[in-house]
């Protein structure tokens, strides 16, 4: 069982082996965390994403899956891109959100990463309610079978931090 820790801050400044990117399926950058990681990491990340897309993910990376690239100029070694689900009140998509955390940790294990930083996946433009996203994220990380020694959940504002802290108790 891996007990995550919480940090209020900027995921692009985390000194970890791997930073998880809440990517869109195109792997070609976007807004929110995805845009911030691409801007801070530089063009090397986008170039590697383009190569991955051309060779393996022509239609895009599937929701709940994960893939790694260089971290470019970030203080991490790798970026693990995962595609979170869009929230739906009509359909339970929580298994896909949990898969983002599990698959990212699986990729981290393959890379030999010992420290990993996650954002609150799907809570931005994909509209996942923060409290529910926190419940799913904390449970998925705690249940993961991984060699990763440290998982940091990096929250961008006080409200997100408090929602995750409540789920850690």
DSSP code string of 33-96:
HHHHHHHHH-HHHHHHHHHHHHHT-TT-PPTT-EEEEE-TTSSSSEEEEEEPPPP-SSS--HHH
Cα 123 to the center of its chain, rounded Å: 11
**Residue recorded with tokens 């990993």:** 116
Burial class (CB in 10 A: 0-12, 13-18, 19+), 8: middle
Among the listed residues 10, 17, 34, 157, the single catalytic one is: 34
The CA-atom distances, in angstroms, between 132 and each of 128, 139, 141, 164 are 7, 11, 14, 9
DSSP character for 155?
E
Is position 109 annotated as part of the catalytic site?
no
Q: At what angle do helices 130-143 and 94-111 cross, to 10 degrees?
A: 40
Active site residues: 34
């Amino acid at each position: 069982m891996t007990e995550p820790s919480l940090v209020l801050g900027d995921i692009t400044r985390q000194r970890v082996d791997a930073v998880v990117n809440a990517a869109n399926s195109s792997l070609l950058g976007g807004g929110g965390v995805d845009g911030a990681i691409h801007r801070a990491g530089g063009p090397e990340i986008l170039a590697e994403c383009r190569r991955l897309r051309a060779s393996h993910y022509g239609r895009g990376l599937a929701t709940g899956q994960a893939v790694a690239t260089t971290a470019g100029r970030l203080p991490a070694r790798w970026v693990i891109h995962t595609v979170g689900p869009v929230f739906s009140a009509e359909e339970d998509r929580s298994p896909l959100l949990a898969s983002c955390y599990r698959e990212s940790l699986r990729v981290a294990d393959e890379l030999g990463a010992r420290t990993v930083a996650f954002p609150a996946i799907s809570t931005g433009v994909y509209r996942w309610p923060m409290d529910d996203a926190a419940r799913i994220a904390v449970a998925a990380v705690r249940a993961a079978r991984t060699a990763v020694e440290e998982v940091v959940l990096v929250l961008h504002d006080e409200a997100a931090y408090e929602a995750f802290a409540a789920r850690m108790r």
